[in-house]
Structure 1
Amino acid sequence: MNDLTNHQQAVELLQQLGLKEYEAKCLVALSRLPKGTAREISESSDVPRTRVYDAIRVLETKGLVEIQHSNPQQFRAVPIEEAAKTLRQEYESRTDTLVEAMENIEPTVPASDEEITHEVWALSGVTPIANRTGQLIDAAGQEIVLIIGREEVVTEELLEQLQTAQNTGLSVLIGTATDQLREEIHAALPEAEVFVSGLEWLNGSPSARTDETTISRLLLIDQNTILVSSVQETETGAIDTEKAVFGRGFDNGIVVIARRLMASGLRPAADPDVPDE
């Protein structure tokens, strides 16, 4: 059953990377054989034999399959690592072309020069939210306050971005929901100010909340831009997708309150926003 699931997943992922269904099925079938004829590929992949040749021809042009011109012809897939590299390069090439094309499209409405005073947007998905978090961190000019409620938020890329920000002289404050997570982040960023946040509801303990929502991350950039994300546990115990709201241009009162909440648990002497006595 697990092998069938892996087979189906491989076919679906190859289709997401640009292959058509028969092409994906033939490539997966060949990956399980040292080599094979069109008949053997058809029997293994449930692709009609007459369509195998067309699929193999496309796979060969993409550099994913090799052909032995014998009688009958024999086919074999390139090594998995080589195939992955080829697909990655093609995917990145298409992405670069897409970015170039979209950047060259003339806007239908000219950009406004008006200063944004207040805006709030919503975003869903772990990858988009992680990308937006990184974008906001990279754009910081003075201070980054990040509260981490879930261990999954901490990635190598995030740690590198925070380290880079700190190296450029920015104030970086990192709060965590647990002592263990604080120690892990401190080990990765020994020069950063890492503390256990006083926001107990970040821990996600059933006794501390009435619903199944857990805060994933709270981010405040330059006391002006805020991002808050959360996940919700379903009735089956699975974790629903991460969702976030973020905005900028907040009035000073909201920012002050948000920052005081986020810095809860931080020693006043270590808080750059608190003047020395």
Structure 2
Amino acid sequence: MDTPENVAEAIEVLQQLGLKEYEARCFVGLARLNTGTAKKLSELTEVPRTRVYDAIRILEAQGLVEIPHSSPQQFRAVPLEEATETLRDQYEERVERLHDALDTVDVVDDGDEEPVQQIWAMTGRDAIENRTDQLIEKATNEIVLVIGHASLLTEDLVETLNEVDDEHDLIIGTLTEPLQDQVQAAVPDATTFVSGLEWLHGEHTTEDDTAIGRLLLIDRSTILVSSIMPDTKREQAIFGEGFRNGLVVIARRLMAQGLIPARDPQ
């Protein structure tokens, strides 16, 4: 459905992918037209006519717009599937360039001794899920994960969990039996349990309360705990490491609630 909200969102996403505002407006405008002249595109997008030509020239160079030989001159966007694939390739190329550049940057060592206690804050589901995947992949012995909400059992997480080495202990807790069944079906090699942490899902919990997202304990020395904010549904987390870290010590004891005795981190 062609709505102002959809148009605005498309323009915003294109800008996030690297296009300037006029370029994004012109591309979205052409996506709504079979073909369009500079005059018609300017009227539809509210981009000054003189700036339309500049934007179209850049979009053509990026492979997003075609300019047929016609008089008066007209423009058209490439097919949507082709455009999205082109933008995806460009985005991934930029990410690879960023990785390669940062990977060669020298680390500045200030000479200070690294503290034992380390607790860091993180925000955003993508970042937290990426950190979760990295911690699981780096585990050498034991992975204990408590999932607080079914929405966090994503395809990427399931794939990461199913790639855990058979020699590792993979233990996954949930807050409800239905979610436990879902986890067991998705990750059949894991030991699953319904968490005994009653305070995570108490009787008086409401939609206005902050919900527990995930609790992850790696090798009994690294912990990640996230919560989901009730108003924005945005996930926030804290991450700590170090066997002597007080947060890890507490988490080991709390997460043991509901584990079978043989798996209890005592």
Structure-1 residue corresponding to 2:168: 170
Judged with a 3 Å threshold, the aligned counterparts in structure 2 of structure 1 residues 196 and 73 are, in CA distance, closer, same or farther, namely same
Q: What is the CA deviation profile of residues 72-119 of structure 1, one whole-angstrom value per residue up to 9, with x for unaligned ones?
A: 11211011111111011111111111111122222332677x576321
SS at match of 2:90: helix
Which amino acid is the alignment partner of residue 244 of structure 1?
A
Q: Give the aligned length.
A: 266
Root-mean-square deviation over aligned CA pairs: 2.3
Structure-2 residue corresponding to 1:94: 94
Query: Which one is further off, 33-42 or 170-179?
Result: 33-42
- Percent of aligned positions with the same letter in both sequences? 53
Q: CA deviation at 1:266?
A: 2.5
TM-score (ref. length: structure 1): 0.88
**For residues 246 and 110 of structure 2, what CA distance do their matches in structure 1 show?**
32
TM-score (ref. length: structure 2): 0.92
Judged with a 3 Å threshold, the aligned counterparts in structure 2 of structure 1 residues 255 and 61 are, in CA distance, closer, same or farther, namely closer
Structure-1 residue corresponding to 2:187: 189
SS at match of 1:93: helix
**Is the contact between residue 256 and residue 264 of structure 2 (CA under 8 Å) also seen in structure 1?**
no
Q: CA deviation at 1:213?
A: 1.6
Question: Which of 252, 263, 270 does residue 256 from structure 2 map onto?
Answer: 263
Q: List alignment gaps of at least 5 residues for structure 1.
A: none
Query: Which one is further off, 254-263 or 90-99?
Result: 254-263
Structure-2 residue corresponding to 1:51: 51
Q: What is the CA deviation profile of residues 178-203 of structure 1, one whole-angstrom value per residue up to 9, with x for unaligned ones?
A: 11111111111122111110112223
Judged with a 3 Å threshold, the aligned counterparts in structure 2 of structure 1 residues 97 and 210 are, in CA distance, closer, same or farther, namely closer
Q: CA deviation at 1:125?
A: 1.1
SS at match of 1:146: strand
Structure-2 residue corresponding to 1:161: 160
Q: CA deviation at 1:208?
A: 4.8
Structure-1 residue corresponding to 2:209: 212
**For residues 118 and 169 of structure 1, what CA distance do their matches in structure 2 show?**
29
Structure-2 residue corresponding to 1:200: 198
SS at match of 2:3: helix
Structure-2 residue corresponding to 1:107: 107
Q: CA deviation at 1:35?
A: 1.0
